[in-house]
């Protein structure tokens, strides 16, 4: 019996070395001028999924991303790190999607994947900083969610105990 984990990830512009061409005249990010990288917080989610895979017998890690064809680079990186497979939602109809459209498309893809036991994602993407897609996906799928998770204390095929980061 498998334990299916989906990691939601995004390829984002690398903002560590921003030059004068990084912004367009309209105030948006010039994605063509910046190299694309694996969103760092989503990379944390992938690493956590791979730790769970080591602990839970039968665990399988799937990576799901949405973006242009070049976003497949993070799927390849995920496979290299130990993920079992990856899926890319790509098409002109997804271009310019806001968080609502993105979460809708991702939730539809998750439904198509079948039985999923756990969905992990980073807190937010460094290009938008909205922190909305993960919670919106959970809402659309009717699933409980844990936000600001700092550590998974215990996990098995039926339950999870998580330490959260809160003000107090």
- Each residue's pLDDT tens digit, 34-78: 778 888 899 999 999 999 999 998 999 999 999 889 999 999 999
Report the b/e string of 68-88 with b at 16+ CB within 10 A: eeebbbbbebbeeeebeebbb
pLDDT digits (tens, 9 = 90+) for 91-133: 888 887 787 888 899 999 999 999 999 999 988 777 766 777 8
CATH superfamily entry for domain 3-15+31-143: HUPs (3.40.50.620)
Q: What is the pLDDT of residue 105?
A: 92
| Residue environment code for 96-118, b if the CB has 16+ CB neighbours within 10 A, otherwise e | ebebeebbebbbebbeeeeebbb
pTM of the model: 0.87
């Amino acid at each position: 019996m498998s334990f299916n984990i989906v990691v939601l990830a995004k390829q984002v512009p690398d903002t560590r070395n921003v030059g004068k061409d990084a912004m367009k005249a309209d105030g948006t990010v010039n994605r063509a001028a910046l190299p694309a990288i694996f969103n760092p917080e989503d990379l944390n989610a992938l690493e956590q999924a791979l730790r769970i895979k080591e602990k839970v017998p039968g665990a399988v890690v799937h990576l799901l991303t949405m973006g242009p064809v070049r976003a497949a680079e993070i799927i390849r990186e995920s496979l290299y790190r130990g993920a079992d497979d990856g899926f890319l939602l790509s098409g002109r109809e997804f271009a310019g999607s806001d968080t609502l459209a993105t979460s809708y498309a991702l939730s539809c893809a998750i439904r198509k994947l079948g039985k999923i036991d756990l969905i992990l994602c980073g807190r937010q993407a460094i290009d938008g900083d909205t922190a909305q897609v993960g919670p919106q996906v959970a809402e659309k799928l009717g699933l409980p969610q844990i936000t600001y998770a700092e550590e998974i204390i215990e996990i098995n095929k039926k339950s999870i105990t998580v330490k959260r980061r809160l003000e107090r």
